[in-house]
Amino acid sequence: MSILTEARQELIDYITQLPIDSLNTAMDKDSWTVLQVVEHLALMEEDVSTVLKDAILKREFIEEVRQKPIHLTTDRTQKFSAPEKWQPKQETYSLEEVLHHLEKSRESLNNAFAHANDADLEHVVAKNDAFGALSLAQWPDFIGYHEQRHLAQIKEIIAAIS
């Protein structure tokens, strides 16, 4: 199982067993709730899907693409601020709403990759804010690691509000 698939399954398994009243509770006024974090993941994946599809359609080949240490994405000691477009827009969400958005964002990602061939995966890049140019082949793992990072955040939220 790929890190992309594994991370998504772990995320869904975890959040669907949480008490409903914990899903829209933040640690403090400056923090996101569990469902806001999940909405962030869907917004990010949706946006990245568009960026990747555009890169695939342009097919600007780079002969040698350096592999980046994307596994470091899970390191929560390194803090990042999400771009505005990846920030949740609502104070509260329903579990069904965010699960549906996750499903749709994954469909978008799969549709983007449906246009790629093996050469595209290794020689076409798309910019990543943390790592620079990533080959298309590295993006699914990056998204999986990003979800693992935020699953750890969700567990911190639950520990803090319990």
- 81 within domain boundaries: no
The CATH number that applies at residue 109 is 1.20.120.450
Task: Write the pLDDT tens digit of every residue in 18-48.
Answer: 999 999 999 999 999 999 999 999 999 999 9
pLDDT value of residue 148: 98
- What DSSP state is assigned to residue 46? H
- 85 within domain boundaries: no
Q: Which helix (H) or strand (E) holds 127?
A: strand 125-128
Give the C-alpha separation, 8 to 12, whole Å. Answer: 6
Taking Cα atoms as reference points, which of 14, 137, 142, 34 lies closest to residue 93?
34
pLDDT value of residue 62: 87
Q: How many domains is the chain partitioned into structurally? A: 1
Give the C-alpha separation, 113 to 121, whole Å. Answer: 9
- 86 within domain boundaries: no
Q: Measure CA of the first residue to CA of the last residue in the chain; give whole Å.
A: 32
Residues 6+ apart with CB under 8 A from 128: 68, 134, 139, 142
- 27 within domain boundaries: yes
- 45 within domain boundaries: yes
What's the count of helices (H) and strands (E) in the chain, helices before strands?
5, 2
Q: Please list the pLDDT of the chain residue by residue as tens digits (162 residues).
A: 699 999 999 999 999 999 999 999 999 999 999 999 999 999 999 999 999 999 999 888 888 899 999 999 999 999 889 999 999 999 999 999 999 999 999 999 999 999 899 999 999 999 999 999 999 999 999 999 999 999 999 999 999 998
- Domain span holding position 19: 3-76+91-161
pLDDT value of residue 43: 98
How many CA atoms does the CB half-sphere of 58 hold within 13 Å?
Answer: 14
- 84 within domain boundaries: no
Entry field: residues in the chain: 162
